[in-house]
Chains A and B, each alone.
Chain A
Amino acid sequence: MEDIKLMKGNEAIAEGVIRAGCDGYFGYPITPQSEVLEYLMMARTEERTGMVVLQAESEIASIHMVYGGAACGKRVMTSSSSPGISLMQEGISFMAGTELPCLLLNVVRGGPGLGTIQPSQSDYFQAVKGGGHGDYKLIVLAPASVQEMYDFAKLGFDLAFKYRIQVMVLSDGAIGQMMEKVVLDEQIPRQTNEEIIKNHPWATSGKTPDRERNIITSLDLDPVKQEKINIHLQEKFKRITENEVRFETLMCDDVEYLFVAYGSSARVCQKAIQLGREKGLKVGLLRPITLFPFPYDEVAKLAKQVKGILCVEMSAGQMIEDVRLGANGAVKVEHFGRLGGIIPAPDEVLNRMEEIFISKNNYGRGTN
């Protein structure tokens, strides 16, 4: 029998990590994602699976606890919202340099500064282009439903360990707070210490006579060696780019006017497409699911097919830079967004598409 529950996005990912065999969560409260820590505390995870849950004194401490736990080969995570994620960048950079797997959740709120607690997508650059210091990337997953919040817990951990990389689920206050039905999976057992030693021989577990000591460090003062480490990281990001692009298209077979949007904005566009199709407009949606790696090829393919692309983001336009890279001038790419925590309405989005590309008679195609 299927196990189906009505849950908030934040609760769904919390349940998702428990069922994905997570070993440890370290976090600090911040709206709109405090339900993650609250749910995990309520769930008595120590009794249920043995998962450790700890409220840290700050986001800085949280991420460095994650860094410590990840070094032991454990499935560990933290979650926060924008201001807290900014504080975590130091630790994320250390994890990038030491190639430690972990799951990070950013339930984005509007900024800059303390900003607002309302949903936003203004942390795209921070998540996708690096965030902290140094040349590194995170795998970034963008859920557009409560089900995906749940699903990306397991997917995130699997990718994190497959590549020894940090995976960020880039959500927002709307997806985190809304309630939807979620189909739950069976509990995956946590790894035993013996399995960790066997499967992750790099992990710090105590030096035994049969092996050299395991050192987790991002430091190498020799620039020649440091360059090698960086090249190795770049090769990994390339492999990820080649193998892990995920996206979804909606009504794209005959599409003439394409929305590109992720997360909450994609949900708004879905509705806008319904309205548009009712009016006979050939509108469709490309929804990137992985923001790094970005579906450049799919954008390129669709850019050759359509008369205009409208990038809808709850920001001043961040992902649009990647969409333009993908389109590479084949078609005009425009931005529509609301700022500061406002979610655009579907008719607002559709109107903008019509205003820019349709009523002005396809000025998007070519230079006519």
Chain B
Amino acid sequence: MEEELTRESICQQENLVYSRTPLMTPKALSYCPGCGHGTAHRLIMEVIEEMNLQSQTIGVAPVGCSVLAYDFLDIDMQQAAHGRAPAVATGIKRLLPDKFVFTYQGDGDLAAIGTGETIHACNRGENICIFFVNNGIYGMTGGQMAPTTLPNMKTATSPYGRDVVSMGYPLKITEMIAMLPGTCFVTRQSVHTPANVRKTKKAIQKAVQCQLDKKGLSFVEIVSNCNSGWKMTPLESNKWMEENMFPVFPLGDIKVPKP
């Protein structure tokens, strides 16, 4: 007679195919289904866990959809004012140089209100990691135009499309900071396919290693969808991202660490 299937009989080590990342808290993510933020969180936590850095890590959360990142990441964290995360991380790292310190920021946070803090932390070569989730929009406040919004893209504050003549061009801040001698590793990735997820994880590992090796600032941009802000289904948003975001924000390493 066949054995009855019970929860206990199923939950066996040999049947394990996937589990919650240990350093993600059990709290349900507050992100819209299909949003890239959750995947980005998970990858960072996987790397911290695999590199055994939990007790060494201090993270800085931004203002944006990921303002509550500290609810989901099982590490010490500090919530920063809008755009100021790189300055906050500077304060932490300068006083605790042996800790692993990172910021997690959106495009409005990092490339609009926090442009100054971003560029100067990069220029000083602060030995921190910046994880930058670029979705071309202000997700949290309801889909307003961001510095990274594409030309002609419609948002709540560019309802007829971003007119570059009066509203400016998408800011390629990642290319800008790659020019600064203080940065050691600058890359642009995405998390919309399994292959890209694997590449992004490698980039995060490399960024963390750069910090452990005291090489300066490493910067991982993750081009991501905001299906809610873009008013699309998750699948549509990923397709739109490939067709429209990647030509302006091409994926790949922009600056690789010196050996």
Contact = CB atoms under 8 A, between A and B. Distances in A.
A90 B117 CA distance: 14
A201 to B, nearest CB: 12
A69 B70 contact: no
Nearest to A216: B78
A205 B99 CA distance: 8
Q: How large is the interface on B (under 10, 10 to 19, 20 to 34, 35 or more residues)?
A: 20 to 34
Contact of A58 (B60, B80, B88, B116): B116
A214 B96 CA distance: 16
B92 interface: yes
Contacts of A65: 87-88, 90-91, 94
A62 B95 CA distance: 14
A69 B78 contact: no
B163 interface: no
Contacts of A217: 61, 70, 77-79
B58 interface: yes
* Dominant SS among interface residues on chain A: mixed
B67 A219 contact: yes
A74 interface: yes
Contacts of A67: 78, 80-81, 84, 87-88, 91
Nearest to A24: B95
Q: Which of A58, A68, A76, A193 has the most chain B CB within a 10 Å cutoff?
A: A68
Interface stretch (A49-57, A153-161, A225-233, A334-342): A49-57
Given A24-B94, A52-B95, A205-B96, A64 B88 contact: yes
Interface string A42-82: 00000000001010111011101111111110101000000
A218 interface: yes
A214 to B, nearest CB: 5
Contact of A60 (B56, B74, B84): B84
7 contacts: A65-B91, A67-B91, A68-B91, A70-B91, A90-B84, A206-B75, A206-B99
Interface of A: 23-24, 26, 52, 54, 56-58, 60-62, 64-72, 74, 76, 90-91, 94, 193, 204-209, 213-219
Interface of B: 54-58, 60-61, 67-68, 70, 74-81, 84, 87-92, 94-96, 99, 116-117, 120
